[in-house]
Amino acid sequence: MWIVQPETSRPVSIESPCILVCSIDPKTNYCFGCGRTREEISAWIGMTPETRRAVMAELPARLETVERRPRRETRRARLQRERGAAG
């Protein structure tokens, strides 16, 4: 993630655990992709580097508690399943 510092007008890199899988688990309220809460995601840019690192240290344990949603069934898989049930 990049932000621009007003005094230098140069982009600055911010550490982020985001992997662009942005969806919240309704049971744990953690993102399926990174493990952060909505509040942490929205406050991320304003957090100090120390606070971000503290949150990131918790993410592996959080992700262990997230229930993985099943992948959507593809059209091809559905047709194969239906053919198998008919035969």
Position 49 scores a pLDDT of 94
- Reported as a single tens digit per residue, the pLDDT across 21-72 is 888 999 999 999 999 999 999 999 999 999 999 999 999 999 999 887 656 6
- Reported as a single tens digit per residue, the pLDDT across 9-24 is 666 788 899 988 888 9
Residue 72 within any structural domain of the chain: yes
Residue 10 within any structural domain of the chain: no
Is residue 44 within 8 Å of 36, Cβ to Cβ?
yes
Query: How many domains, in total, are found in the chain?
Result: 1
d(CA 49, CA 26): 28
Of 15, 7, 25, nearest to 68 (Cα)? 25
Position 73 scores a pLDDT of 63
Q: Is 9 left (phi over 0), alpha (psi -120 to 50) or beta?
A: left
Could you tell me which residue, 81 or 63, shows the higher pLDDT? 63
d(CA 80, CA 6): 56
Residue 33 within any structural domain of the chain: yes
Domain of residue 64: give its range.
19-86
Residue 8 within any structural domain of the chain: no
Residue 3 within any structural domain of the chain: no
User: φ, ψ for residue 66 (rounded to 5)?
Assistant: -75, 130
Residue 69 within any structural domain of the chain: yes
Position 41 scores a pLDDT of 96
Residue 5 within any structural domain of the chain: no
